[in-house]
């Protein structure tokens, strides 16, 4: 996924880049891929469409509000709509977003096949974001937020979050 595919006006990108995910503050809403549409449709008026990561994600309301206030600081009136289709997938996280996640200490989502093997405990493929060992074990499919699973590293002994694959 790239920003171009998501139909976002170029001049809005620097503004939206400053809006971060309230639960993973190092990730911008553009990195996360939840902004599907942001266009200036009338003078000083922006229409935004965002898609939820998980249905119950409590961050969505906050993200909508944060986008509205960031745009209003730049003189735009905003209308934010929540769209369900196409459903968000972890593929919508940008390449730079994946890197940021790992640096932050959250293992980024893998492809669907590896993800399934990892969560079913068939194969040790999730890399520890601290020491990069794959000698890791899933502790729980459900982690600190709806989008994460909890892992533990056998080498550095640190627990860490894994961003679950959603396709």
Partner 1 sequence: MDKKDLIQYIETIADNSLILGQRMGELTGHGPTLEVDIACTNISLDLFGQVRSYFQYAAQLSNQEISEDDLAFLRQERAYKNVLLVEQPNRDFAYVIARQFLFDHYHFLFLKHLQNSEDETLAAIAKKSIKEVSYHKRFSSDWIIRLGDGTEESKQKIQTAVDDLWQYTQELFEPNEAEKAAEEKHIGVDIVSLQAEYTQNVGKVLQEATLTQPDLKFFQRGGKKGIHTEHLGYLLSDMQYMQRTYPNMKW
Q: If binding is defined by CB under 5 A, does position 131 make contact with Zn ion?
A: yes
Please pick, from the candidates 130, 146, 156, 158, the single residue that binds partner 1 as defined by CB under 8 A: 146
For partner 1, which stretch binds (CB under 8 A), given 20-28, 47-55, 91-99, 125-133?
A: 47-55
- Work out the angle at residue 115's Cα, subtended by the Cα atoms of residues 113 and 116, and round it to the nearest 5 degrees: 70
User: CB under 5 A: which stretch of 6-14, 40-48, 118-126, 147-155 binds Zn ion?
Assistant: 147-155
Q: Which of 57, 71, 80, 101 binds partner 1 (CB under 8 A)?
A: 57
CB atoms within 10 A of CB 109: 24
> Contact between 164 and partner 1 (CB under 8 A)?
yes
52 lines the binding site for partner 1 (CB under 8 A):
yes
The candidate with the shortest Cα–Cα distance to 52, out of 73, 79, 83, 25, is 83
- Which residues, numbered 1-40, are part of the site for partner 1 (CB under 8 A)? none
End-to-end CA distance of the chain: 13
142, two tokens = 């459900």
Tell me which DSSP letter residue 142 carries: S
Round to whole Å and give the CA distance between 61 and 66.
9
**Residue 134 contacts Zn ion per CB under 5 A:** no
Among 87, 96, 133, 135, binds partner 1 (CB under 8 A): 87
Residues facing residue 136 across a β-bridge: 153
**Choice from 62, 120, 155, 157 touching partner 1 (CB under 8 A):** 120
Q: Does 108 bind partner 1 (CB under 8 A)?
A: no
């Amino acid at each position: 996924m790239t920003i171009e595919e998501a139909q976002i006006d170029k001049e809005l990108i620097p503004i939206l880049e400053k809006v971060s995910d309230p639960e993973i503050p190092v990730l911008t809403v553009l990195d996360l891929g939840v902004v599907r549409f942001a266009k200036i449709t009338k003078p000083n008026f922006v229409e935004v469409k965002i898609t939820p990561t998980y249905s119950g994600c409590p961050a969505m309301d906050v993200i909508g509000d944060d986008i509205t206030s960031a745009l209003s600081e730049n003189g735009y009136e905003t209308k934010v709509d929540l769209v369900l289709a196409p459903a968000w997938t972890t593929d919508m996280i940008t390449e730079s977003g994946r890197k940021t996640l790992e640096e932050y200490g959250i293992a980024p989502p893998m492809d669907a096949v590896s993800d399934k093997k990892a969560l079913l405990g068939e194969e040790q493929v999730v890399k520890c974001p601290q020491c990069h060992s794959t000698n890791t074990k899933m502790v729980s499919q459900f982690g600190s937020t709806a989008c994460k699973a909890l892992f533990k590293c056998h080498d550095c002994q640190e627990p860490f979050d894994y961003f679950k694959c959603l396709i």
